[in-house]
Amino acid sequence: MAMSVGPADEDEASAISEINTTPLVDIMLVLLIIFLITVPVIQKMANVEIPKAVNQPTQTKPENITISVDAKGQVYWNASAVTDRQVFFQKIVAEARKTPQPEFHIRGDVAARWEGVGRVINNLQRGGIVKVAFITEPDRGSIRVTR
């Protein structure tokens, strides 16, 4: 940065006591251009096509079956609690034989362990269910993490 100071006499030209910011602006613009050019080159990632998020409203039909898993791992078939795993699997097999096959909606509590939901998915797969959907709430801008 430079500063120009002229003579202090009133008769002569008045003093210019301003800081010359032109060199500073030039340097900042050069640095900005360098960063804009180098940032895309620095990012080294595998070339992968990421799936797009789609939010589709749930179409509730009478033949849809909702399976819920609460925070304690208790499984519910629609609104009734499932106490016996063998009976649960037999219900799944009976629904899988229907034509057309009903769609299963899985609702997992945010505090539920993944193994409870995974067990339900495993039973649905073993029973021959083809249509499985996960019911979620839309993001309201806040992220809540529980451990």
pTM: 0.55
Residue 75 CA to residue 88 CA, distance in Å, equals 9
Residue 41 CA to residue 34 CA, distance in Å, equals 11
Q: What is the pLDDT of residue 109?
A: 87
Q: What is the pLDDT of residue 42?
A: 64
What one-letter code names the amino acid at 6? G
From first to last of its 147 residues, what are the pLDDT tens digits of the chain? 455 555 555 555 666 678 888 888 999 999 999 888 887 766 665 565 665 656 666 666 667 888 999 888 899 998 889 989 999 999 999 999 988 889 999 988 888 888 989 999 999 999 999 989 888 776 655 555 555
Residue 114 CA to residue 25 CA, distance in Å, equals 55
